[in-house]
Amino acid sequence: MRRTLPFLLCVAVLVIAVPLNAARQPLRARHGMVVAMEAIAADVGVSVLETGGNAVDAAVAVGFAMAVTHPFAGNLGGGGYMLIRMADGRITFIDFRERAPEKASRNMYLDAKGELTRDSIEGWRSSGVPGTVRGFEIAVNKYGRKTWSENLSPAVELASKGFRVSYALAEGLKGSKSLAASPESKRIFQKNGAFYDVGEKLTQPELAGTLERISKNGANEFYEGETAARFAAEMAKHGGLISRSDLKSYKAIERVPLTGMYHGYTIITSPPSSSGGIALLEMLGILDGTGYEKAGAGSASAIHYVAEAMRRAYADRNEYVGDPGFVKVPIAGLLDPAYLSRLRASIDRERATPSDTVHPGKPAGTERLETTHYSVVDAEGNAVAVTYTLNGGYGNGITVPGLGFLLNNEMDDFASKPGTPNMFGLVQGETNAIQPGKRPLSSMTPTIILKDGKLFMTAGAPGGSRISTAVLQVILNVVDFGMNVQDAIDFPRFHHQWQPDTLSLERGVSPDTVALLKSRGYEVDYAPGVVLAQVAAIVSDGGWLQGGSDGRSAAGKASGY
């Protein structure tokens, strides 16, 4: 019998803080678990597990379903990463991040005065070449058990027959200016010019047709078939950059995940072109040996040490990390124990270090809530962590006419003008400058953790530049502070990303702690609206799977059997 975890009524994309003094219990299940940022898709994943699919099958089915039910971030027209750990010990990382089109150029988003335009965020020129469909194909073909068409079937049915609009989706659609600016998006996501109400049925016949063709013809349909031809024609018609050649040449890449150790646990996480895994391992490496945890979770001292680790890791992230096909990323140097020891020693035990005095180190060998994450574990112990995105909420808001899918505005993740903040406030360097065929840097951090060689935890989050710090804190809460997975997720979070030199704190942090942090020299953002990412995690413990979904958004769900 499937069990589901109820959530407080709130909006998926207009998130609220959790009442953190009201403890919630994780969902517990014996056989399989899916935690996703959208409830219908989570149940789709469990159904796949119940009918003989493995965790990879379920992950792909969830991803396609979310393209229908969670248009805020679920997608065909975006990209992301999938981290897989099979029960037999095999691990792999599928990089299906978007690429810059062949016609892209370094200064394409600068005006005559050298100032940034909004073209990297708005309009057809903001889109990179999508990777989701090709990435999911690799996953199913190499690691799945069900057929490609079986894994697409739930999404096809949801798009063609429709589904009931949730409160979260209804409010999200009402709040999107980008959707309202696109005639095709407005036609699909409004009903005769009016917004959908809760409980009304939303059907997407054009998207159903695209999914049906992909189901029948494979991923080549999206990259070389009728869908590709129509997609490229619409791009050309509207002044976009993506061509048929871009689509045909796109490849998802299998990479070797990064691994590290922390307090006896093996951390498996994302390699470049994601910066998230390097940042996560660097932060853990800096903290290891500080004894920060002795001060207790949520204390000013513990927050201080973790924030200083964040500050140093983000300085390095912005200087050194980029697409490994274009830049040499000094991974070994950044994670070298001697280098991490130097960074650790540079932390003042009592005072915040001003960011203008923290510069990227010299290692040897030298994304907000618009993303979505889901975690899957099956009865055999296979585990999958997927983070994928359109970048901005609903991407650039443009639905491709006749095809039904939304486009990403991922080109803004490049450093269009190195040294100038992007839409997430990240200041990035030359390693992430625009080049044709290059993958933009990402903060996505899908992570799997082992204890004594066995699966212990899988986690990840949406949240733009705040993803890796959110994943870090959930890991610390479980490993160092002994919290269950739900408490670890619901505990108030904080974030520092070097530039701007601001420590963001959720309102669940006590005012006394905030005052102590200010006395240490921190510039604090403690505004009521601060929400620092949404985490989806599963812990395997004592024969039970424990699923935790983030109460910062009630659209999410832990579902298991």
Q: How far apart are CA 53 and CA 96, in angstroms?
A: 22
Picking from 149, 161, 156, the residue whose alpha carbon sits closest to that of residue 216 is 149
In this structure, is the dihedral angle defined by the CA atoms of residues 123, 126, 132 and 138, taken in order, positive or negative?
A: positive
Is residue 120 classed exposed, middle or buried when 0-12, 13-18 and 19+ CB atoms within 10 A define those classes? buried
Contact 194, 242 (CB under 8 A): no
Q: What residues are annotated to the active site?
A: 371
Question: Are 270 and 259 within 8 A, CB to CB?
Answer: no
DSSP element (H, E) containing 541: strand 536-541
Distances (CA, A) of 367 to 83, 276, 429: 18, 10, 16
Residue that the structure tokens 């979260």 belong to: 168
Q: How many residues does the chain have?
A: 561
Classify residue 328 by burial, with Cβ atoms within 10 Å: 0-12, 13-18, 19+.
exposed
Which ranges of 191-225 would DSSP assign to H, the alpha helix?
Answer: 205-217, 220-223
Decide: 408 and 240 in contact? Cβ < 8 Å: no
Going by C-alpha positions, the residue among 42, 54, 55 that lies closest to residue 12 is 42
